[in-house]
Amino acid sequence: MKYAQPLIPATLLRRYKRFLADMRMADGSHTTVHCANPGSMLSLAVAGRRCWLSHHTGTARKLAYSWELEEASTGCIGINTARANIVVAEALAAGAIPELAGWPIARREVPDGDASRLDFHLSGGDGPDCWLEVKSVTMSRQTGLAEWPDARSSRGARHLEALSRLAASGAKATLLFLAQRPDCTAFRVAGDIDPAYEAALAAVDRAKVRILAYDCAVSPDGIELRKPLTIL
């Protein structure tokens, strides 16, 4: 996924009200930007960090800038959760996820019947259709370890239920944790933050619901799915 326009550097002053952040621009001026991350952003919302913003013109947006990336000592981190599905869609089209190779995307954002949606319906592969849910992972509290979620997620538990139900009916089902950062080699569920989700994932029949984790190469030019992570 390449950014359509060059990103703009800024410095984080504070993040608040979930979807707002104050930034200091390169010329010293201050501006409020959209934060496209509804989570707690634990380990990320650190004042003084260098960030990268996208600029929106000619739209009805109330805020002209959106926060896309944050720089850490280990490299750039993608904080915009909406980018994860774009990265995965491109990887699917390129056959870059071997476990899902051969299943073209049939539909995206597919209702599963209980007021929530699954990210992808893959059809046309060798065997039953496949349903795919993607989780954008940004948190790392321990060197080399990516974790999700950074806040309790009842919606995430509903997605697990939907995938398990589809798998029980004979379809293929996959849950993919996508770390929008290049500095991790392993992934685990943050059970101390959401013990209910940890228990729900542990109860999933791994023979029927496949669990994957991948990291990304991240830069101000774009984000690309890179390699699998060890799941702990």
Whether the bond into 195 is cis, omega within 30 of 0: no
C-alpha 153, offset from chain centre: 14
Q: Which residues pair with 121 in a beta bridge?
A: 107, 131
What's the mean pLDDT in 146-159? 92
pLDDT at 114: 56
Give the pLDDT band (50/70/90) at residue 124.
confident
Decide if pLDDT at 182 tops 90: yes
pLDDT surpasses 80 at 143: yes
Give the total residue count for the chain. 232
User: Percentage of the chain with pLDDT > 70?
Assistant: 95
Over residues 226-231, the mean pLDDT reads: 98
The yes-or-no verdict on residue 110 having pLDDT over 80 is no
**Distance between CA 13 and CA 30 in Å, rounded?**
9
pLDDT digits (tens, 9 = 90+) for 30-80: 999 999 999 999 989 999 999 999 998 766 668 999 999 999 999 999 999
| Domain boundaries of the chain, sorted by first residue | 8-78, 83-231
195-203 and 154-168 helices, crossing angle to 10°: 10
| Residue predicted with more confidence, 62 or 178 | 178
CB–CB of 49/89 below 8 Å?
A: no
CA distance 118 to 134: 8
Beta-carbon-side half-sphere exposure of residue 206 (alpha carbons within 13 Å): 6
How much is the pLDDT for 217? 98
pLDDT at 19 over 90: yes
- The DSSP secondary-structure symbol of 156 reads H
Residue 196's pLDDT is what? Answer: 94
Options 2.40.37.10, 3.30.230.10, 2.40.50.580, 1.10.10.10; CATH of 8-78: 2.40.50.580
The whole-angstrom separation of Cα 27 and Cα 86 is 32
Q: Does domain 83-231 have CATH number 2.70.70.10?
A: no
Contact criterion met (CB below 8 Å) for 24 and 55: no
Strands of the 230-231 sheet, one edge to the other = 139-142, 145-148, 186-189, 230-231
pTM of the full structure: 0.93
Return d(Cα 36, Cα 23) in angstroms, integer.
14
